[in-house]
Every structure is written in structure tokens, then in C-alpha cells.
């Protein structure tokens, strides 16, 4: 088997890793489309400007094409919208990544922004687990409640079936703290879902399944 391709290219023996998922409840109506082997293009409409900005970081720095359309009960607050986007995005990732043959499985990244520094580590383990330590310096960033960052990642973790550790190591500005978290998450994702040219066709686990 030849391996003379960039590691971000999908091997010809693999199907494109694309998924579309919809979630409709009394609180939200959400459509998500992901292409895990994209170029970082995004089309985002959640009704929460800062949240769209953070989702754009996932697409751009994760090299994931990402379409998200959310119609939620923002007249109440952003909780249901942010949480349900996390759930639906997690479902789309789980569907798109398939049996995980050939992926690196693990990814980590440190990302700075001025005074802020965050570290994110991810494992496509098949087991949902979130450890998050982000002491936000402000409760709100624009119309975005910083508490909802945890709800987004919890929803993603529970439905993508990943283990995720998020630590904001330094930061005095809440915008910077959040942005480093989402950028580091994107970079860790990118590393974990890329194909390993030395392990194509192999499940990255001694158990033989994930």
C-alpha cells in the first residue's frame, strides 16, 4: 500500500467522512453537517454571535467543514441552543468517523492568545468523559454565558463518545480564555482524527475495537 500522500488526505480505500444530523425538540431545531476531511469552511447560524465565532475556530483550526443552523428558544436564554448544538455536533462526529480504522485516536494542543493559554487533550476512546477546568474571569462574553462552554463540551463528549480534558492554564480576559480553549480543542481534534500512514486499516486499540 502506498503512503506517499499528505496525512490530511483521505486514503483512496476510505469513504469520505461526512455526516448530516438533525435534532428537533420543543426547545431547539438544529441541523449539523460535518466533513472531517474538509478545508475549514464554515456556515454558522446559532443566533449567538460569540458562539458562532467559537464554532468557526473549530472549523478553521480543525480543518473541518462545518455547517450549523440552529433555531432555539433564545428568548429564554442560550442554554438549550448551546447544549443541543454540542449534542448534535457530537452525533455528527460519531457518525462521520465510523469504525476509527487508521486514525491517530489521540490529539493534544496548547494554544496561547496574549496572556491566555489553554491545553486540550482528546481521546476517541468510545467512552464519554469530560474533565474541564476553565476559571472564566467574566460570566458573559457579549450575549454568551461562559457557563455554557461546559454544557457545549459535555453534550459533544456524551454523543461523540470521546474522553476530553480541557485546562485553561492562564488567562485574565474571558474572551481570550474561551478562544484559546476552542482553538486548542480544534487542533487536538485535527490531530486525533487524521489518518496515520503507518496504521492504515488498523483499529488504534489493543482491544481491536473502539
C-alpha cell recorded at residue 156: 459533544
At residue 35's C-alpha, the angle toward residues 29 and 40, to 5°, is: 100
Architecture of domain 18-193: 2-Layer Sandwich (3.30)
Cα dist from 205 to 26, 100, 104, 165, whole Å: 40, 10, 10, 20
pLDDT digits (tens, 9 = 90+) for 70-82: 999 999 999 999 9
The pLDDT, as a whole number, for residue 206 is 86
Segment 12-35 shows an average pLDDT of: 92
Q: Residue 172, Cβ neighbours under 10 Å: how many? A: 11
Alpha carbons 97 and 93: distance in angstroms, whole number: 6
pLDDT at 52 over 60: yes
Identify the pLDDT of residue 210. 86
Per-residue pLDDT of 113-127, as tens digits, reads: 999 999 999 999 999
The predicted pLDDT at position 11 comes to 65
Contact 181, 120 (CB under 8 A): yes
Q: Quick one: pLDDT at residue 164?
A: 98
The predicted model scores a pTM of: 0.93
**Cβ–Cβ under 8 Å, residues 92 and 22:** no
Instruction: Label residue 2 by pLDDT band (50, 70, 90).
Output: very low
157 within 8 A of 165, measured Cβ to Cβ: no
Where helices occur in 63-118 by DSSP H, the ranges are: 79-97
Amino acid at each position: 500500500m502506498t503512503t506517499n500522500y499528505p496525512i490530511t488526505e483521505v486514503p483512496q480505500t476510505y469513504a469520505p467522512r461526512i455526516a448530516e444530523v438533525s435534532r428537533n425538540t420543543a426547545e431547539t431545531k438544529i441541523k449539523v453537517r460535518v466533513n472531517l476531511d474538509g478545508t475549514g469552511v464554515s456556515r454558522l447560524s446559532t443566533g449567538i454571535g460569540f458562539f458562532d465565532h467559537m464554532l468557526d475556530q473549530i472549523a478553521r483550526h480543525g480543518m473541518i467543514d462545518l455547517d450549523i443552523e440552529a433555531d432555539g428558544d433564545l428568548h429564554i436564554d442560550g442554554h438549550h441552543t448551546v447544549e443541543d448544538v454540542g449534542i448534535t455536533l457530537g452525533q455528527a462526529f460519531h457518525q462521520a468517523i465510523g469504525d476509527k480504522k487508521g486514525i491517530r485516536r489521540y490529539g493534544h494542543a496548547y494554544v496561547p492568545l496574549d496572556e491566555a493559554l489553554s491545553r486540550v487533550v482528546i481521546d476517541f476512546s468510545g467512552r464519554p468523559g469530560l474533565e474541564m477546568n476553565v476559571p472564566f474571569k467574566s460570566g458573559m462574553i457579549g450575549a454568551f454565558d461562559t457557563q455554557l462552554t461546559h454544557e457545549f463540551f459535555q453534550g459533544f463528549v456524551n454523543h461523540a463518545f470521546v474522553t476530553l480534558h480541557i485546562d485553561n492554564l492562564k488567562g485574565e480576559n474571558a474572551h481570550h480564555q474561551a478562544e484559546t480553549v476552542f482553538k486548542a480543542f480544534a487542533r487536538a481534534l485535527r490531530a486525533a482524527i487524521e489518518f496515520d500512514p503507518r496504521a492504515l486499516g488498523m483499529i488504534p486499540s489493543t482491544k481491536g475495537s473502539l
